[in-house]
Amino acid sequence: MICLQGGRPDEAQLHLQQLVDAYPGEAIYTERLATLLERRGHGDEAVACYRRLLAARPGLNNSRYNLARLLKRIGRSEEALQEYQACLARNIARPEEVHNNISVIHTARQRHELALAALQAALAHNPEYIPALYNLAQLREEQGDWAEALRLFNRILQREPRHAGALAHIAYGERITDPVAPVVRQIKRVLRNQDLAAIDREELLYALGKAHDDCRHYDRAFDYYRQANLLSRQRAGSYSRERQEQLVDQLIGHCDRHWLQTIPPVSEQPLVFICGMFRSGSTLLEQILAGHSALAAGGEIDFFQRELAPFPRTLTTLAAPSL
């Protein structure tokens, strides 16, 4: 801890490794080493730490849960599912959390029936578990069952009146005709809380913009959108046309035909990449294409942002096998 607080992560890693070697069955040392390795971008090494610990002490459910979470984070989702199932088989405490995490993986892979089954299992263990209720509401909304989604969002608000996601979904899902509609008034009450997280404030301001746009109160809608955009820029940074042009120029300059031909194909089957902005219909297009028996949906892929940051500069340093 002293090394970490002093900004000496290499020393901290060395000392933790020595403790793990000396006490291989002590979960606390392995957990800390794995966490440090993960933070430093060494996900595979962190996985190996957990696997060595669990080989010696397979009954450590919390460590297995952390391994599953890590596997999902570094893109090894199918392995994560196996570890989550092992947690359930070993009667982990709060199984609703595990079932909910399983549903997230299935949803990302467009396996909606399996996601639904996992969410129902989570709620069978804990009918008031908010994350599962929220994910189920979103799944029902995506499936076109707005009435059921609305019922679930309202159920969430009965338990957590300040739940920004549920409020925003209702504002977006309903056609607002009254500027003092109950959902509008509730959003404004939540926004008066000084301790509201910035990301929640941003989401609710966008929702108010949409609600007032529905009511044709365009000046007020514009003001709410302006406030939301300000928070968005503080969180994600402002758009720069110059930086975007540089990014595109770098991609054109590096990712030419010769470069692509140096990369061995990962599959004999042709791959289809669907690229689009948020809310552009890319997910819908994927679902339509995946309806064909010769195509399988891959879901949203975070490989590039996970493995190639800072993109695209990292491309110049990676060998073909890594790509």
Task: Give the other-Cβ count within 10 Å of 62's Cβ.
Answer: 12
24 pLDDT more than 90: no
Encoded tokens for 261: 């031909």
Give the residue-averaged pLDDT of 223-236: 95
Encoded tokens for 197: 């997280």
Q: Which residues contact 83 (CB under 8 A, 6 or more apart)?
A: 64, 65, 67, 68, 71
pLDDT confidence tier of residue 9, bands split at 50, 70 and 90: low
93 pLDDT more than 70: yes
**What does the alpha-carbon distance between residue 157 and residue 166 come to, in Å, rounded to a whole number?**
7
Candidates 34, 59, 205, 41; CA nearest to 213 is 205
Q: What is the pLDDT of residue 2?
A: 54
Distances (CA, A) of 49 to 17, 55, 81, 158: 10, 10, 18, 42
Cα angle 104, 110, 112; round to 5:
70
pTM: 0.82
Encoded tokens for 257: 């035909």
239 vs 137, which has greater pLDDT?
A: 137
The burial of 112, by beta-carbon neighbours within 10 Å (0-12 exposed, 13-18 middle, 19 or more buried), is given as middle
Q: What are phi and psi of 308, to 5 degrees?
A: -115, 15
pLDDT confidence tier of residue 284, bands split at 50, 70 and 90: confident
Range from 153-162, 172-181, 247-256, 308-317 carrying the lowest mean pLDDT = 308-317
- Give 86-116 as a DSSP string: HHHHTT-SSHHHHHHHHHHHHHHTT-HHHHH
What's 315's DSSP letter?
A: G
